[in-house]
Amino acid sequence: MKRKTYYIVAALIFFASLLFSYRNRLYYSLKGDYYLEPKSKIRLKVRPKVTQIEYSSDLYLESDEKVLLKLEGRDTWHENCGWTYKNMGDIGYRYSITERVIKKYDSNTDNGIIVATGHKGATIDGDGIIVPLKGKRKYSVTEDHDYSITITNLSDKPVAFRAIVADR
């Protein structure tokens, strides 16, 4: 009987230590957030509802702490910064990976303005963009086919953030 009790206590201690070592991952996954170690990746599926007449897909990123993420999976990224109340137009940034150009755009004007290299937002790197994230960001990720987005943690510490793809 003592041997059986010993095994039960040993198993409980093992599971308690396992739970304690993964407490951050469990906490953030229960909140609906992602928890990534340095250089770790997650893959999000984008499945636009192309059977609808009007469809769109948006990627929402949010973090309370300062994190550095790399987004891959598209040739062009569109960051929506808000609306201008003067003419009710959409404003934001367009990151072209193939052309290596960042443009600030306003939907009320035809041409975008090329942003200087000192831009404080996302930067183009390799086949994606590097996003310094603290707070909220919204990217339009609409395509006419299914694909996936890869998010990599470039910070030197584990990070927690929320990432949601909304297909409408």
pLDDT in tens, 112-133: 676 665 567 788 888 899 999 9
pLDDT given for residue 82 in this prediction: 65
Q: Could you tell me which of 162, 133, 167, 164 has the C-alpha nearest to residue 29?
A: 162
pLDDT given for residue 108 in this prediction: 62
The structure's pTM equals 0.77
**Domain coordinates in residue numbering, the chain:** 1-31, 33-167
Please check the confidence at residue 167 and state whether its pLDDT lies above 60: yes
